[in-house]
Protein backbone atom coordinates (compact mmCIF):
# COMPACT_ATOMS: atom_id res chain seq x y z
CA UNK A 1 0.00 0.00 0.00
CA UNK A 2 1.01 3.61 -0.54
CA UNK A 3 -0.26 6.56 1.47
CA UNK A 4 -0.18 9.94 -0.24
CA UNK A 5 0.40 12.39 2.57
CA UNK A 6 1.73 15.90 3.26
CA UNK A 7 3.79 17.29 6.12
CA UNK A 8 1.82 19.06 8.85
CA UNK A 9 -1.55 18.39 7.16
CA UNK A 10 -4.19 17.12 9.62
CA UNK A 11 -6.03 14.83 7.16
CA UNK A 12 -3.05 12.60 6.31
CA UNK A 13 -2.03 12.60 9.96
CA UNK A 14 -5.40 10.99 10.78
CA UNK A 15 -4.56 8.11 8.42
CA UNK A 16 -0.97 7.82 9.67
CA UNK A 17 -2.05 7.69 13.31
CA UNK A 18 -4.65 5.02 12.56
CA UNK A 19 -1.95 2.96 10.82
CA UNK A 20 0.37 3.43 13.80
CA UNK A 21 -2.31 2.49 16.34
CA UNK A 22 -2.98 -0.70 14.41
CA UNK A 23 0.72 -1.43 14.01
CA UNK A 24 0.50 -1.55 10.20
CA UNK A 25 3.95 -0.80 8.87
CA UNK A 26 4.00 -2.13 5.29
CA UNK A 27 2.94 1.20 3.82
CA UNK A 28 5.06 3.46 1.65
CA UNK A 29 4.42 7.09 2.54
CA UNK A 30 4.63 9.54 -0.37
CA UNK A 31 4.79 13.14 0.80
CA UNK A 32 3.32 15.72 -1.56
CA UNK A 33 4.16 19.40 -1.45
CA UNK A 34 0.67 20.93 -1.31
CA UNK A 35 1.89 24.52 -1.56
CA UNK A 36 3.72 23.63 -4.78
CA UNK A 37 0.54 22.01 -6.13
CA UNK A 38 1.77 18.39 -6.26
CA UNK A 39 -1.84 17.40 -5.57
CA UNK A 40 -3.18 19.37 -8.55
CA UNK A 41 -1.56 17.28 -11.29
CA UNK A 42 -3.55 15.15 -13.74
CA UNK A 43 -1.84 12.07 -12.36
CA UNK A 44 -2.95 12.77 -8.79
CA UNK A 45 -6.45 13.83 -9.94
CA UNK A 46 -6.89 10.38 -11.41
CA UNK A 47 -6.29 8.97 -7.91
CA UNK A 48 -8.56 11.49 -6.21
CA UNK A 49 -10.64 13.85 -8.36
CA UNK A 50 -11.06 16.08 -5.27
CA UNK A 51 -7.24 16.61 -5.37
CA UNK A 52 -6.81 16.19 -1.61
CA UNK A 53 -4.67 14.04 0.64
CA UNK A 54 -4.79 11.51 2.23
CA UNK A 55 -5.14 8.89 -0.47
CA UNK A 56 -4.43 5.25 0.27
CA UNK A 57 -3.43 3.41 -2.90
CA UNK A 58 -4.02 -0.31 -2.48
CA UNK A 59 -1.90 -3.01 -4.11
CA UNK A 60 -4.87 -3.67 -6.44
CA UNK A 61 -4.55 -0.09 -7.75
CA UNK A 62 -7.79 1.01 -6.04
CA UNK A 63 -7.45 4.43 -4.42
CA UNK A 64 -9.25 5.19 -1.17
CA UNK A 65 -9.57 8.89 -0.36
CA UNK A 66 -11.37 10.58 2.57
CA UNK A 67 -9.87 9.93 5.99
CA UNK A 68 -13.10 8.37 7.26
CA UNK A 69 -13.06 5.83 4.42
CA UNK A 70 -9.41 5.04 5.14
CA UNK A 71 -10.31 4.45 8.81
CA UNK A 72 -13.00 2.02 7.61
CA UNK A 73 -10.65 0.17 5.23
CA UNK A 74 -7.96 -0.24 7.91
CA UNK A 75 -10.50 -1.52 10.42
CA UNK A 76 -11.67 -4.16 7.92
CA UNK A 77 -8.19 -5.44 7.04
CA UNK A 78 -6.87 -5.20 10.60
CA UNK A 79 -9.69 -5.40 13.15
CA UNK A 80 -7.40 -5.31 16.20
CA UNK A 81 -7.23 -3.08 18.07
CA UNK A 82 -10.68 -1.80 17.10
CA UNK A 83 -10.70 1.93 16.40
CA UNK A 84 -14.28 2.09 15.15
CA UNK A 85 -15.71 0.39 18.21
CA UNK A 86 -17.47 -2.86 18.95
CA UNK A 87 -21.22 -3.35 19.23
CA UNK A 88 -23.93 -1.24 17.67
CA UNK A 89 -24.07 1.51 20.32
CA UNK A 90 -20.34 2.07 20.60
CA UNK A 91 -19.84 2.02 16.82
CA UNK A 92 -22.61 4.59 16.36
CA UNK A 93 -21.26 6.80 19.16
CA UNK A 94 -17.76 6.79 17.67
CA UNK A 95 -19.08 7.64 14.22
CA UNK A 96 -21.27 10.39 15.69
CA UNK A 97 -18.27 12.02 17.34
CA UNK A 98 -16.02 11.57 14.34
CA UNK A 99 -18.60 13.28 12.11
CA UNK A 100 -19.10 16.05 14.65
CA UNK A 101 -15.36 16.60 14.78
CA UNK A 102 -15.02 16.70 11.01
CA UNK A 103 -17.95 19.01 10.48
CA UNK A 104 -17.84 21.35 13.47
CA UNK A 105 -14.12 21.41 14.28
CA UNK A 106 -11.78 20.23 11.51
CA UNK A 107 -13.69 21.90 8.69
CA UNK A 108 -13.93 25.34 10.36
CA UNK A 109 -10.28 25.21 11.47
CA UNK A 110 -9.22 24.39 7.91
CA UNK A 111 -11.46 27.05 6.40
CA UNK A 112 -10.25 29.66 8.88
CA UNK A 113 -6.65 28.84 7.98
CA UNK A 114 -7.25 28.90 4.23
CA UNK A 115 -9.38 32.05 4.17
CA UNK A 116 -7.21 34.00 6.63
CA UNK A 117 -3.77 33.03 5.33
CA UNK A 118 -4.33 32.85 1.60
CA UNK A 119 -2.15 29.70 1.67
CA UNK A 120 -4.07 28.25 -1.30
CA UNK A 121 -4.83 31.54 -3.04
CA UNK A 122 -3.55 30.03 -6.29
CA UNK A 123 -6.56 27.67 -6.28
CA UNK A 124 -9.31 29.44 -4.30
CA UNK A 125 -10.51 32.94 -3.45
CA UNK A 126 -9.85 33.69 0.23
CA UNK A 127 -12.69 35.57 1.94
CA UNK A 128 -11.30 37.13 5.12
CA UNK A 129 -14.71 37.54 6.83
CA UNK A 130 -15.51 33.89 6.22
CA UNK A 131 -12.15 32.98 7.70
CA UNK A 132 -13.00 34.92 10.87
CA UNK A 133 -16.44 33.36 11.10
CA UNK A 134 -14.94 29.88 10.77
CA UNK A 135 -12.45 30.72 13.51
CA UNK A 136 -15.39 31.59 15.79
CA UNK A 137 -17.16 28.35 14.85
CA UNK A 138 -14.06 26.29 15.62
CA UNK A 139 -13.63 28.00 19.01
CA UNK A 140 -17.29 27.28 19.81
CA UNK A 141 -16.59 23.56 19.55
CA UNK A 142 -14.08 23.57 22.42
CA UNK A 143 -16.69 23.81 25.23
CA UNK A 144 -18.56 20.90 23.61
CA UNK A 145 -15.39 18.81 23.61
CA UNK A 146 -14.54 19.91 27.17
CA UNK A 147 -17.99 18.87 28.45
CA UNK A 148 -17.64 15.45 26.84
CA UNK A 149 -14.13 14.91 28.23
CA UNK A 150 -15.25 16.03 31.70
CA UNK A 151 -17.49 12.98 31.70
CA UNK A 152 -15.48 10.45 29.73
CA UNK A 153 -11.89 9.33 29.39
CA UNK A 154 -11.92 9.56 25.62
CA UNK A 155 -13.85 11.59 23.06
CA UNK A 156 -16.43 8.91 22.26
CA UNK A 157 -16.59 7.32 25.70
CA UNK A 158 -14.34 4.97 27.63
CA UNK A 159 -12.38 3.50 24.72
CA UNK A 160 -9.77 5.11 22.47
CA UNK A 161 -11.10 5.49 18.93
CA UNK A 162 -10.74 7.31 15.63
CA UNK A 163 -12.64 10.19 17.25
CA UNK A 164 -9.60 10.79 19.47
CA UNK A 165 -7.33 10.72 16.42
CA UNK A 166 -9.48 13.22 14.51
CA UNK A 167 -9.74 15.42 17.60
CA UNK A 168 -6.02 15.54 18.39
CA UNK A 169 -5.02 16.10 14.75
CA UNK A 170 -7.46 19.01 14.58
CA UNK A 171 -6.55 20.43 17.98
CA UNK A 172 -2.85 20.54 17.18
CA UNK A 173 -3.42 21.91 13.68
CA UNK A 174 -5.61 24.65 15.22
CA UNK A 175 -2.44 26.29 16.61
CA UNK A 176 -2.01 27.66 13.11
CA UNK A 177 -5.10 29.82 13.66
CA UNK A 178 -3.95 30.64 17.23
CA UNK A 179 -6.65 28.45 18.77
CA UNK A 180 -5.13 26.81 21.86
CA UNK A 181 -7.32 25.61 24.69
CA UNK A 182 -5.83 26.91 27.94
CA UNK A 183 -6.48 26.24 31.62
CA UNK A 184 -10.17 26.95 31.15
CA UNK A 185 -10.34 23.56 29.42
CA UNK A 186 -8.78 21.19 32.01
CA UNK A 187 -10.38 18.04 30.66
CA UNK A 188 -9.07 18.72 27.14
CA UNK A 189 -5.61 19.28 28.61
CA UNK A 190 -5.76 16.03 30.64
CA UNK A 191 -6.90 14.06 27.57
CA UNK A 192 -4.30 15.71 25.32
CA UNK A 193 -1.41 14.82 27.68
CA UNK A 194 -2.72 11.26 27.87
CA UNK A 195 -2.82 10.94 24.07
CA UNK A 196 0.77 12.13 23.72
CA UNK A 197 1.87 9.02 25.65
CA UNK A 198 0.38 6.61 23.11
CA UNK A 199 2.61 4.65 20.73
CA UNK A 200 0.36 5.74 17.86
CA UNK A 201 0.86 9.43 18.64
CA UNK A 202 2.76 10.86 15.68
CA UNK A 203 3.92 14.36 14.94
CA UNK A 204 4.29 15.20 11.26
Ligand X SMILES: N[C@@H](CCC(=O)N[C@@H](CS)C(=O)NCC(=O)O)C(=O)O
Query: Which positions lie near ligand X, rule CB under 6 A?
Result: 6, 9-11, 34, 39, 51-54, 66-67, 120, 123
CB of residue 34 to ligand X, shortest distance in Å: 5
Q: How far is CA 194 from CA 10, 141, 157, 170, 198, in A?
A: 19, 20, 15, 16, 7
Q: For ligand X, which is the closer residue by CB, 154 or 173?
A: 173
* Strand runs labelled E in the chain: 2-5, 28-31, 55-57, 63-65
CB of residue 156 to ligand X, shortest distance in Å: 18
Q: For ligand X, which is the closer residue by CB, 22 or 185?
A: 22
CB of residue 15 to ligand X, shortest distance in Å: 8
Strands 28-31 and 2-5, sheet pairing: parallel
Helix axes 107-117, 128-151, angle to 10 degrees: 150
Q: For ligand X, which is the closer residue by CB, 73 or 153?
A: 73
CB of residue 66 to ligand X, shortest distance in Å: 5
Nearest CA to 156 out of 166, 169, 141, 142 is that of: 166
Q: For ligand X, which is the closer residue by CB, 119 or 201?
A: 119
Amino acid sequence: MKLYSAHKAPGPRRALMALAEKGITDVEVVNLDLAAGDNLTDEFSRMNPMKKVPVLELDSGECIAEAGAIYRYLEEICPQPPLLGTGAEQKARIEMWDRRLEQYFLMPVGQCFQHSSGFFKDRMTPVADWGQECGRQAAAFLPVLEAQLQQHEFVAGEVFSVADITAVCTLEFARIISLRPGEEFPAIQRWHEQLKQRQGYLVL
